[in-house]
């Protein structure tokens, strides 16, 4: 007998988000995909149908089900059907190239792949697929063995779906792999639902919200738009934007109440003229995936004065760790805030002791959002997911040691310093690239910028800045460099002043989740990996 849910009864499993929403808010819209809309009852019915079809294809409990599609109704349905049939969801970023997708499918040991006809053909051109079954969302009658059409998925509707626990593996999210091939982060049902409850709580999500999904659903923060919305009966508007202007148009057209994006997209949005109605319903906007440059924050506040800003920090290994309350955004805009609900964040020295006020140390996250580890990488798991010092947690409790250096002020607010593998070591000093980037952005001369360390015979490393000019016509490189370096000299100690500026009229490199990729730029320009 299926469970009977109420608004006050939270679900325990990922796919139960859809089942509960169908019972509590059956006629409220759940998904918008262009001209297509599903309410919560219809979404749950589709998830059940596809889950039964997956079982009929032989998917067993624990089998990995990969989904490689852009944002569409079928992507969401397949994602929740993957766990409803007892499997494990493996969302694959739609911008990945076929060779990268082959790696993810082989590494995950995916038994079934859900994709489109065009993407399937591209994968076959790159080599034989490791998957036993493929489901094509846009084909009616595939003629190939092992390939099934989405609309022809069928099975025994009376056959019971397997019983799963909230501690079971629910999904494997692959990191961008900026320093190597992507690796999978294992998340349990409990991880995903605890994250949804925590985020919905501090964002104040409710059933009349309309969230715009601009981030990839293969990105933990992108998938969170679905889980937080379905938890409270809200609606998610799916958007595959070609240009930033598409985002503003959707905000006005769909009366969006909540927007979550990465800083590079916000930097592009503030450079545009916003259409009437873009912020008429906007209740909040949230930042993830890196520090928001102060000039961009100020411009967003001016463009959307009635919307609350939420500045957030997280990592795939623990989903979300901190957020800055909106009423603190003006007082401490460079802070990543304090711990989200139901998480404990510490700043520790290498010996496991707690750092003093304003002393840089490693951010360590403990609580129910800590992931299960890396898929089939026990050594890397042991390095990142470690037992807490005895004074800090329960015996045997594991926390995620982020690798990020932060500091905590006297009031308990945290400030990002740098990732350990991105710190610049120059003239005997350790320099945070984000600190240099903040000053570069404050000049008002750049649309986007990154700072990196490049090998130098005398200093060890020299600071180089890659930047896209804010004003491109007219643009004189020598004048732009001189003006930016002069601005830096006025505001930075000599050892932090960039040696040179590399200007680009094209966007700077980003990883598949849309974050600016310092390591990729450095590798492209002869600085190693």
What pLDDT is stored for residue 274 in this prediction? 97
Q: Is 249 exposed, middle or buried (CB count within 10 Å of its CB: 0-12, 13-18, 19+)? A: middle
- CATH among 3.40.50.12780, 1.10.490.10, 3.40.250.10, 3.20.20.10 for 241-419: 3.40.50.12780
What pLDDT is stored for residue 473 in this prediction? 85
Contact 361, 349 (CB under 8 A): yes
Cα gap 463→497, rounded to integer Å: 7
Query: Tokens representing 145?
Result: 């063995």
What is the layout of strands, in order, in the sheet containing 64-67?
A: 147-149, 133-136, 110-115, 64-67, 88-91, 169-174, 184-188, 373-374
Task: Render each residue's pLDDT in the chain as its tens digit; 529 residues.
Answer: 678 899 888 899 999 999 999 999 999 999 999 999 999 999 999 999 999 999 999 999 999 999 999 999 999 999 999 999 999 999 998 988 888 899 999 999 999 999 999 999 999 999 999 999 999 999 887 768 899 999 999 888 888 888 899 999 999 999 754 334 678 999 999 999 999 999 999 999 999 999 999 999 999 999 999 999 999 999 999 999 889 999 999 999 999 999 999 888 998 899 999 999 999 999 999 998 777 888 899 999 999 999 999 999 988 899 899 999 999 998 998 899 999 999 999 999 998 999 999 999 999 999 999 999 999 999 999 999 999 888 777 778 899 999 889 999 999 999 988 776 677 878 656 677 887 898 899 999 999 999 999 988 767 789 999 999 998 888 889 999 999 999 999 888 787 899 999 999 999 998 877 888 888 898 888 765 4
Query: Tokens representing 175?
Result: 């990191």
What pLDDT is stored for residue 178 in this prediction? 36
Cα gap 490→500, rounded to integer Å: 16
CATH topology of domain 37-189: Rossmann fold (3.40.50)
Evaluated on CA atoms 95, 98, 103, 107, the torsion sign reads positive
CATH H-level, domain 423-524: superfamily: ANL, C-terminal domain (3.30.300.30)
Cα gap 515→380, rounded to integer Å: 23
Common-topology check for domains 37-189 and 241-419: yes
* 308 preceded by a cis bond (ω within 30 of 0): no
- DSSP track, 221-244: HHHHHHHHHHHHT-EEEE---SSH
| Distance set, CA 265 to CA 114, 127, 169, 422, 448 (Å) | 28, 34, 32, 22, 10
What pLDDT is stored for residue 226 in this prediction? 98
The domains of the chain are located at 37-189, 241-419, 423-524
Largest CA distance in the chain: 73
What pLDDT is stored for residue 3 in this prediction? 80
What pLDDT is stored for residue 400 in this prediction? 96
Cα gap 51→77, rounded to integer Å: 9
- The residue written with tokens 């995916």 in the block is 110
């Amino acid at each position: 007998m299926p469970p009977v849910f109420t608004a006050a009864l939270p679900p325990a499993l990922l796919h139960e988000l859809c089942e509960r929403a169908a019972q509590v808010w059956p006629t409220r819209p759940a998904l918008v995909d262009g001209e297509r809309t599903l309410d919560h009852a219809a979404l749950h019915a589709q998830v059940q149908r596809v889950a039964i079809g997956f079982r009929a294809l032989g998917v067993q409990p624990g089998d990995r089900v990969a989904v490689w599609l852009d944002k569409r109704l079928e992507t969401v349905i397949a994602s929740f059907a993957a766990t409803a049939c007892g499997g494990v969801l493996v969302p694959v970023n739609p911008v990945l190239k076929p060779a990268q997708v082959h790696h993810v499918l082989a590494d995950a040991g995916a038994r079934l792949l859900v994709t489109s006809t065009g993407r399937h053909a591209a994968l076959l051109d790159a080599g034989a697929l490791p998957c036993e079954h493929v489901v094509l969302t846009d084909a009616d009658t595939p003629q190939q063995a092992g390939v099934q059409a989405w609309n022809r998925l069928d099975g025994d509707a009376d056959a019971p779906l397997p019983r799963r626990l909230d501690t079971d593996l629910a999904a494997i999210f692959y990191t961008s792999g900026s320093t190597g091939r992507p690796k999978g982060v294992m998340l349990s049902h409990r991880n995903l639902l605890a994250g949804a409850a925590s985020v919905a709580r501090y964002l104040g999500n409710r059933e009349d919200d309309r969230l715009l999904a601009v981030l990839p659903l293969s990105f933990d923060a992108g998938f969170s738009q679905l889980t937080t919305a379905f938890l409270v009966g809200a609606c998610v508007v799916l958007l595959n934007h070609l240009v930033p202007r598409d985002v503003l148009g959707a905000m006005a057209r769909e009366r969006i109440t909540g927007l979550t994006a990465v800083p590079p997209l916000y930097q592009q949005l503030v450079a545009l003229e916003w259409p009437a109605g873009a912020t008429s319903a906007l209740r909040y906007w949230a930042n993830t995936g890196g520090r928001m440059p102060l000039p961009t924050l100020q411009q967003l506040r001016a463009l959307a004065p009635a919307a609350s800003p939420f500045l957030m920090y997280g990592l795939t290994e623990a989903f979300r760790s901190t957020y800055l309350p909106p009423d603190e955004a003006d007082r401490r805009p460079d802070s990543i805030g304090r711990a989200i609900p139901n998480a404990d964040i510490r700043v520790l020295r290498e010996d496991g002791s707690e750092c003093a006020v304003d002393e840089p140390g490693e951010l360590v996250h403990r609580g129910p959002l800590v992931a299960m580890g890396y898929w089939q990488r026990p050594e890397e798991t042991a390095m990142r997911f470690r037992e807490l010092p005895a004074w800090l947690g329960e015996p045997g409790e594991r926390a995620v040691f982020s690798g990020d250096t932060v500091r905590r002020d006297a009031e308990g607010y945290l400030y990002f310093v740098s990732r350990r593998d991105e710190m610049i070591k120059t003239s005997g000093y350790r320099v945070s690239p984000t600190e240099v980037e903040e000053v570069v952005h404050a000049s008002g001369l750049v649309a986007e910028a990154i700072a990196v360390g490049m090998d130098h015979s005398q200093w060890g490393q020299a600071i180089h800045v890659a930047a896209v000019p804010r004003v491109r016509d007219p643009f004189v490189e020598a004048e732009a460099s001189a003006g930016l370096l002069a601005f830096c000299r006025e505001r930075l100690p000599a050892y932090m002043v960039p040696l040179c500026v590399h200007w680009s009229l094209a966007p700077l490199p980003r990883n598949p989740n849309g974050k600016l990729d310092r390591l990729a730029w450095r590798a492209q320009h002869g600085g190693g990996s």
